[in-house]
Structure 1
Amino acid sequence: MKYQRIAGVVAGIVAFAGITGTALAATTPAHDLVAKPHADTTLKADLDKILSDPRLAKATSDVDVRTAAGASLYASSAVDSPVRPASNAKLFTTTTALDLLGTSYRFSTTVGSVAPVSGSTLRGDLVLRGTGDPTVSAADYDTLAAGIASRGIKTISGKLLADDTYFDSQRWNPHWDDSDKPFAYASEISALTVATDSVDDTGAVQVTISPAAQGKPAAIALSSDTGYVKVSNKATTGAAGSANTIAVDRPAGANTVVVTGSIPAGGAAVVKLRTVEDPALYVASIFRAALAKHGVSVTGQTAHGTAAAGSKVLATKQSAPLSDILTPYLKLSNNGIADILTKTIGKRVSGTGSWAAGTAAIKQHITALGVNTTALSLYDGSGLSDDDRASAHGVADLLVKVRSKSWFPTFYAALPIAGQPDPLVGGTLAARMAGTKAAGNVHAKTGTLTGATSLSGYVTGPDGQVDVFSILLNNYVTPTPTDLQDRIAVRLATGSAATSSLLHAPAPTKRSGSGKEIEPSWAKAA
């Protein structure tokens, strides 16, 4: 099963939480904890020193540290400042989804029709309808097609309609940078989409470039090669040991992948993800090909459409529960899932599956929890927009409040865990704080965009008390000061500035094809 390993990882973390002081305290409801002041007289001086790094001289350093019950331990002068949260925005989206949708929430994808079946012919249109499932794969669409064939249907006399009307028709967020359009971390959001890989990157096609004989064109393969996405192959095979200069682009307005450069003979294949325009029609092309594979022909064209009232469901696919989806989503900071959840929240609250409805519902819900939302302004649920704003005060408030929730252990386990190399455990923190007392201890959400980096979550100190922290840094000088975030987290884990001072500035952040700073887990998309 797709989520068997992920479920095992989460179960292991939750079980671990029951037998260790670190995670046990983190699963204790906030109202059962006493806001005991730490006997830590040097904390302010130590954190002030870390934040005096020259890279932050003209930056906004928004930092808040609390006890698990919310008592303040440290607050920077900019703690209430509205800054770009980057992927820390997902904390607001996720906690709202867990409250309003629930851990057992499942997405559904259906195939239906109002048309009658006569013999082996369905005399009308066949409708493929989605509700935003980010987990449904090409293999799942094949299973749906097999379900149609199993009914004895061999011919569809009408059209194949792709129904993505569960969400609105605004698939690209106008608050995103257009230069991000080719990359899977900024894929279009549709109620009918396909998971390109095992960690639910949606709305994209996988492009694999392999070497041929020297001097020959490189070999290119697409996942789900249905003809919907075209390939312009300008790549060649260079001499063995030569430089790999492969570049993959998808020009705006066209579903054409352009591959250029050279790949060395005998070298490893290059694998990239590139977005598709109108994911619903791409999915319909995948489903149409699957129907043909199972002996079902469609006479009419493929088009957008809407399932009519009274449609009979002929085949259906349900996703894993939200509790399982959280792991690849939060560990790897999956933007597509965040914005699918945002539109789903909007649909649940107001009946409109849009960014505007979803973000309004998120802010309303977070405010009702008692979180300070003065600085909160969201235009998406992922934090990809440079127009999003939040404060460390608000994030820390949220992290304190949600500790009393019944779903908190699931949420806590799904956060990236410092220094744990397994990508579905450590996630975006897999390579950070390794070998320190923060490793295996810090559960926190990362965030990185050009000029904005964030780290917010939970850490257990040497006294066994859980601390909540939020570190939002904007407009700094490179290299990206993730090491300063790590030093703060290690300082909280150890109670000593000595260990944290051993952490050094990182190498330059991996960048996208447009030259932007991005989350580490997004690099494969770029």
Structure 2
Amino acid sequence: MRFARGLHTSAMLVGLSVLLGGCASVAPTAGPSTLDRLLADPALNGATVSLVVRDARSGNTLYQHNPRTRLVPASNLKLLTTAAAMDVLGPQYRFSTQLLSNGTQQGERLNGNLYLRGLGDPTTQFADYQALAAQLASQGVRQVQGDLVFDDSWFDAQRLGVDWAQDDESTYYGAQISALTVSPNSDFDAGTLMVTATAPMSPGQPVSVAINPATDYVQLSNRAVSGPGNSYGITRQHGTNLLQLTGALAPGKHSRQWVSVWEPTQLVANLFEQALAQQGIQVLGRRVIGGSSPATARLLAEHQSAPLQELITPLLKLSNNNMSEALLKAMGRQTTNAGTAQAGVAAVAAFMRRQGLDPASLNQVDGSGLSRRNLVSAQTLTDLLLATSRQPWFDAWYNALPIAGNPARMSGGSLRYRLRGTPAQDNLHAKTGSMGGVSSLSGYLTDAHGRRLVFSMISNNYLSDAAPVRALENRLAVALTQWRD
């Protein structure tokens, strides 16, 4: 679903040579026979591919192969989730995190409960919680007589999506969903911690470990040592926050990994209590996880996210799963006052109907595409790409898509290493998708006539590794830049 963090340079160069090498065999001009040959590649033996190419202005189909065969789209589903969110929530929509109280202030004492209420913001960082605590301190509060209540009721308590793989559970891209969460940095991988291991120069010695943001919410079982083999790794034991570090890390080297936590609301509780203590604010009551803020509670401080039209850039460029799930549940809360994935899917279906698209043509169960129960065809995705191009917010959405071969991380995104030195570089704007046996690429590019094309290619059930299939996607993109009817 996401580019792996910390890939070794040598492995990356091998991958790049395969991907770029797949582009060189495309003829100077291309047409349907070119794509027929592409789909006959041995890498696709036994696989199923849905491929559609269309004229973006007229909508006419230029090429199709299994156009209505529904396949697992992986992260190509984010095209649908984000387009629906721009319509349902609006480009100016902002997530919010609020500090409220049902009590009154007498001098430095707040008589009543203090509520930290999350409205689903996946971009809130520890510094933002520190700023909320500082706003409270600036009002003269030094003591809270009541309870400290962490209100995550804006979303339901379903922390994971339908049929998400168990072995993704501790990864940053499989992090749990909560309306009250925290991100370790500006990539906004909510519900995770950044764990940095450093190997001492002396072989056999244990690695040192730093966690960001610093917290005692997780425990470490550190059996990782300095040594050869590069077998270092981290897992989190199911149902716990015990991080198990094993293997060897080369002497003097650093490894940074993002690891999800069990129950992100409780991680926020741990961090916000730290933030209050830093401001000299004492809470005399209990910590309450999951309570609801009363309607009569007054707002003391608030943090708001950037507007949605800006948030979709890190979401689409970096294929951020947790942000996608937050948008899905936010759409459910906006339309039916239910912060559930099911309500969000219904909101997406209503968006499709407003665009003249048939929601019965696909099956959606989450917002990110991490579930293999999601099913969609290339025909439906090109229908979506055409409909999206007619929206008033299209430019912001289009620019948020990864741009092939553009080396800037927040421009090229998941396509920044692909198609460099080809006619698709800085031309192709598209969303990638990847899971075991699944690869997808859908988006827009301009052909040899200066005509914009939309296309979608979804491949399922191949047995090779991903590199040969991505090389075929690259060949497709180059062929479309050279397309002649």
Same topology, TM > 0.5? yes
Superposed, 1:9-88 pairs within 5 Å as: 43-69=31-57, 70-76=59-65, 78-88=66-76
Alpha-carbon offset, residue 496 of structure 1: 7.5
Equivalent residue number for residue 235 of structure 1: 224
Question: Secondary structure in 2 aligned to 1:98?
Answer: helix
Alpha-carbon distance in structure 2 between the residues aligned to 1:278 and 1:42: 52
Note the aligned Cα RMSD (angstroms).
1.6
Q: Is the 8 A contact 2:433 2:439 kept in 1?
A: yes
Hey, what does 2:77 align to over in structure 1? 89
Q: Specify which of 378, 403, 423 is matched with residue 409 of structure 2.
A: 423
Taking the TM superposition and a 5 Å limit, the aligned residue runs for 1:239-318 are 242-265=228-251, 267-304=252-289, 305-318=291-304
The answer to whether the 8 A contact 2:30-2:479 is kept is no
Aligned equivalent of 2:212: 223
Cα separation, 2, equivalents of 1:441 and 1:382: 25
State the SS of the aligned residue for 2:405.
Answer: coil
Deviation at 1:408, TM superposition (A): 0.4
Q: Secondary structure, in 3 states, of the residue corresponding to 1:424?
A: helix
Work out whether 1:363 is the aligned partner of 2:342: no
TM-aligned CA distance change 1:387 to 1:125, over 3 Å:
same
In the TM superposition, what is the alpha-carbon distance from 1:244 to its structure 2 partner?
2.8
1:178 to 160, 163, 166: 166
Instruction: Name the residue aligned to 1:122.
Output: 110
Aligned twin of 1:408: 394
SS for the counterpart of 1:426 is helix
- Give the superposition deviation at 1:404: 1.1
Confirm or deny that 1:199 pairs with 2:187.
Answer: yes
Query: 1:123, CA displacement in angstroms?
Result: 2.0
Is 1:137 the counterpart of 2:125? The answer is yes
Aligned length: 453
1:210 to 181, 184, 198: 198
Question: Which deviates further from its counterpart, 474-483 or 421-430?
Answer: 474-483
Q: Give per-residue Cα distances to partners, 1:299-357, cap 9 Å, x unaligned.
A: 23322111112111111101100111111100010000111000001111111010111
SS of residue paired to 1:64 = strand
Q: TM-score, normalised by structure 2?
A: 0.91
Contact 1:175 1:379 in 2 (8 A): no
Q: Secondary structure at the match of 2:387?
A: helix
- 8 Å contact 1:416–1:445 — kept in the other structure? yes
Taking the TM superposition and a 5 Å limit, the aligned residue runs for 1:444-523 are 444-480=430-466, 481-495=469-483
Shift, 1:372, TM fit: 4.2
CA distance in structure 2 between the partners assigned to 1:420 and 1:477 by the alignment = 30
8 Å CA contact 1:105, 1:321 repeated in 2: yes
Which runs of 5 or more residues in structure 1 are unaligned? Answer: 1-39, 498-526
How far did 1:246 drift? 1.5
Percent identity of the aligned residues? 40
**Does the residue aligned with 1:447 lie in a helix, a strand or coil?**
strand
Structure 2: where are the runs of 5+ without partners? 1-27
- More divergent stretch after superposition (121-130 vs 376-385): 121-130
Partner amino acid, structure 1, of 2:64: A
1:285 CA displacement? 1.1
Give the counterpart letter for 2:62 in structure 1: L
Q: SS of the residue aligned with 1:446?
A: strand
Structure 1 stretches of 4+ with a deviation exceeding 4 A read none
Matches within 5 A, 1:334-353: 334-353=320-339
- Secondary structure of 1:146's aligned partner: helix
* TM-score, reference length from structure 1: 0.84
Q: C-alpha displacement at 1:42, in angstroms? A: 5.7
What is the alpha-carbon distance in structure 2 between the residues aligned to residue 460 and residue 492 of structure 1?
8
Contact 2:29/2:483 (CA < 8 Å) preserved in 1? no
